[in-house]
Amino acid sequence: MYTHMIDTVRSGKQREMTSIMKRRQFVKAGLAGAAAASTATITAPVIAQDVRKWKLVTAWPKNLPGPGVAAQMLADRITALSGGRIEVKLYAAGELVPGPGVFDAVSEGTAELYHAVPAYWGSKSKGILLFGSQPFGLRADEQFGWLAHGGGQTLYDEMYGRFGIKPFLCGNSGPQWAGWFRDEIKSVEDLKGMKYRTTGLASEMATKLGMAAESMSGPAMFQAMQTGALDAGEFIGPWSDSALGFYQVAKNYYWPGVGEPSSAEECGVNSKVFEELPEDLKQAVTFACDSLYNPVWTEYTTKHAQALQALVNDHGVQVRQLPDDVMQAMGAAAVEVIDELRQDDDELVKRITESFVAYRDLVGGYMSYADNGQMNARAKLLSY
């Protein structure tokens, strides 16, 4: 009986210990669940807050062949290279701000970044214009070479820093065309009084030739030529120009576009926003811009060549070369434009100009033997 009582007591204690252990496990499980829930509650907003939502405003209609396509590529590449930590949403010209207002929008913080061309910002400083294109100036590869290896980027940063913007080149249209003319050009006299759309330093060169130069968007240029408000105009090249339908209002398509031997596209980022980024995201934005330069340029080259064939074969466009006296007059006017920049009151504009001229002379001397020699030799070989 005594043994039975001991067994009974032991059994009761075991049941009590089992009950206690179960309660402890329940409490631990509850605490673990609460901790997990608390972590989830805290962590989710922190991750969401770490994603930066950037507005990219552009000077172009959405997906316009050439610059509109390149702008979307820029938005997508920054988003991808940042691992989604920067989400870039593109706003075409007029959706958030007018195309000509994107520089100010980023400078003032209305948007985080823009996609446009330096040729649009001459009213800010004449020195800015050299970073986009120059009459009888740099080719697309030379333009990038000046900034990357000839000291141009430091000057680019200094100039745009005045306006609270960190600038990057992110593409190039390659050689632009002299443009679309209602009437055939036979001499330099035909240019006098002509109403002509162009931008940047090319407009100053045109003015010196007696032309009435006007800056406007591509769609506005089409309307102005359609109504007769313009006699002629240049926009970019065959790919973009054909998409805007210029061949419908003029059939004479002139080359070479010495006013813009290339036209660099740029990304401007609000300086404060850029400086607040951690180092890896600064590198992501920088690499997104740099890595797009060559793909954008080579796409332009390929699509321009294809579009020119269609313009001639399908739309009856007459491809014409500028007369020699016109080229000579443009060259003389270009020298005046650069001399005026050298004498500008702004010391920074002078330094930018001297840097550009030095680099152009350096690579220009080499290209006479290298690329020019190869291109001229290839042109003589009509076919294999």
Tokens of 265: 């596209």
H or E stretch at 218: helix 218-227
Smallest CA-to-CA distance from 204 within 340, 324, 325 is with 340
Q: Are 153 and 96 in contact (CB under 8 A)?
A: no
Cis omega before residue 98 (within 30°)? no
Smallest CA-to-CA distance from 256 within 231, 237, 232 is with 237
Has 260 been labeled as part of a binding site?
Answer: yes
Has 176 been labeled as part of a binding site?
Answer: yes
270 to each of 4, 104, 155, how far by Cα in Å?
87, 10, 17
Whole-angstrom distance, CA of residue 38 vs CA of residue 19? 28
Has 162 been labeled as part of a binding site?
Answer: no
Burial zone of 211 (CB within 10 Å; 0-12 exposed, 13-18 middle, 19+ buried): buried
Has 158 been labeled as part of a binding site?
Answer: no
Has 134 been labeled as part of a binding site?
Answer: no
Strand pairing partners for 266? 116, 169
Binding residues for Na(+): 235
In the annotated binding site, the residues are 176, 197, 234-235, 260
**Which residues are annotated as part of the binding site for substrate?**
176, 197, 234, 260
